[in-house]
Amino acid sequence: MAQNMTTIAQYFALSDLAPQDLKAQGQINNLFADNATVTAADGTTITGKPAIAAFFKAFFTRNQQLRHLQHTVKTVTGYQAQWAVVGQKAGPTLFTLQGYDDYRFTPAGKISRLQVTTS
């Protein structure tokens, strides 16, 4: 359980670095299982590590700076992180969002499922 909470904290910390750090992008990808599924806030579903890597590369290209706050709890089926983010898109546009992520993990501690929901 503690390892999964640590992985979620790493995911958010790396997400703040990844827009300007390719190594952090690679480290995010390594948090996911080979056959993981990500459901983005817009409902798009991405499956498999190569597709997830491409998704995050595009995401971090669009969003040049990010700063997250998050609080994670264990749920019946996995973990849920409530989050808020302030960021800057490519160009001068600033934004704020809040929402929650639902996570499931493999026995080896890799993220097998991530569903992002915005409020």
**Distance between CA atoms of 66 and 106, rounded to whole angstroms?**
28
Distance CA(64)–CA(93), nearest Å, equals 10
What is the pTM for the complete model shown? 0.95
CA-based nearest residue to 29, from 117, 111, 116, 113: 111
Number of alpha helices (DSSP H) and beta strands (DSSP E) in the chain: 3, 6
Whose tokens are 């995911």? That residue is: 11
Compute the mean pLDDT over every residue in the chain, rounded to the nearest whole number: 97
User: What is residue 38's predicted lDDT score, i.e. its pLDDT?
Assistant: 99
Res 1 pLDDT > 80: no
Average pLDDT value for residue range 70-81: 98
Structure tokens of 73?
A: 């709890």
The topology (CATH level 3) of 2-118 is: Nuclear Transport Factor 2; Chain: A, (3.10.450)
Mean pLDDT within 39-62: 97
At 9, the amino acid letter reads A
- Write down the domain spans for the chain: 2-118
